[in-house]
Amino acid sequence: MRYLDYAATTPVLDEVVEAMLPYLRGTFGNPSSVYGVGRDAKKGLEEARERMAAAAGAVPSEIVFTAGGTEADNLALKGGAFRARSMRRNGNHIITTAVEHHAVLHSAEWLEKQGFRVTFLPVDAEGVVDLDALASALGPETVLVSIMLANNEVGTLQPLEQALRITREGSRALFHTDAVQALGKVVLNLEELGVDMASFAAHKVGGPKGSGALYVRRKTALEPVLHGGGQERDLRSGTPNVAGIVGMAVAAEIAAGEVPEEAARLSQLRDRLQEGILAAIGGVKVNGAGAARVPGTVNVCIDGVEGESLLLMLDARGIAASSGSACTSGSLEPSHVLMAMGVRPELAHGSLRLSLGRATTAEDVDAVLEVLPPVVERLRSIAPSLSRKATPAPAAVARR
């Protein structure tokens, strides 16, 4: 099988498995316990915190371990919004973008039901957030801004430094970024970047599923979402998954150390794949190609093709890919990211995301370029009724 869905998940690295095994066997204790096996687990937990912090350019005390990126996003938005509102009597305004991961979007929508007002910022045709809209939306009631660093579907990198500067000039709001797709793909130094919170997930960088982290800048106050034993500085109660946390830290350390070399290699493979698709297939639109992107993501819309059928035929020929984000790949609704970018719905239904990673080779790219054109030709021949009209899509608008 040719695996080209690294943005969905990654194979666990051998080094990660080896690091985790002791905490699944001999060193199995609860890190809150005072006896030896518990102290050993606690030591492993804190060493992992140090390694994770180093990989992200933070200090260990700023790392809060969670059960994944989704929980980290929920803690950032809900915890940040509720605490900020309690500290500021009139603060009930949240700003995010229309292209965020659903963990952020659905959290924001839930917060609307709790009395918060949410602005969903529009993006341009490349998926880049409208910074003028951000500046206009900020006000004295704004308590939280959440703008992702790297988009999970099209790979677009957001101008986070500019967005953060605008936010700081226009409000006292907390600033969160979903950095799940950025770790191991771009150089990260959260201390220098200056965000208040950043979310991470282990399984995007060769770590185990079910482990994540939220960077919480010192002196940033959050309301806990989970209540219980008070672990993780009372921000995330529950017995820590020490094995998973250790695995995440090792994976993050490896991924961060490989960024310069891997970014160059994957950028070359991405460009080769993108150019090959455009040369071999007509009616293809590359999404986000005009903006800065993470090195390994190619997202295209193929006119006259339905995404689910395309994935099934590719799978039958040994190619693993996705249509939009993995979390919504079972949905027949067009990608909310592509819709926000102004892609017409019938074209968005034919989206294909090919994402490259650590084990991707030139042979994998060549295999896709050999298989994809005849698959598209076959699908177009059996579904001629699919629209190929170039009708313009409505512009994305901010929702309040």
Radius of gyration of the chain (CA): 21
Q: Report pTM.
A: 0.92
Q: Model confidence at 39, in pLDDT bands (50, 70, 90)?
A: very high
| Confidence at residue 112, expressed as pLDDT on a 0 to 100 scale | 97
How far is the C-alpha of 181 from the C-alpha of 69, rounded, in Å?
10
Run of H or E residues at 215: strand 212-216
pLDDT tens profile 109-139: 999 999 999 999 999 999 999 999 999 999 9
Of 34-43, 210-219, 260-269, 330-339, least confident by mean pLDDT is 330-339
Q: Model confidence at 386, in pLDDT bands (50, 70, 90)?
A: very low
Under a CB-based contact definition with an 8 Å cutoff, are residues 306 and 332 in contact?
no
Report the pLDDT averaged over residues 366-370.
Answer: 98
Token look-up 């921000």 returns 235
Q: Which residues pair with 93 in a beta bridge?
A: 117, 142
Under a CB-based contact definition with an 8 Å cutoff, are residues 101 and 200 in contact?
no
Distance, C-alpha 269 to centroid of its chain: 21
Could you give the residue numbers annotated as active site?
Answer: 327
pLDDT above 90: percentage of residues in the chain: 89
Structural domains of the chain, with CATH = 2-7+260-382 (3.90.1150.10), 14-257 (3.40.640.10)
How far is the C-alpha of 332 from the C-alpha of 157, rounded, in Å?
26
- In whole numbers, what is the pLDDT of the chain averaged over residues? 93
Q: Model confidence at 393, in pLDDT bands (50, 70, 90)?
A: very low
| Confidence at residue 170, expressed as pLDDT on a 0 to 100 scale | 87
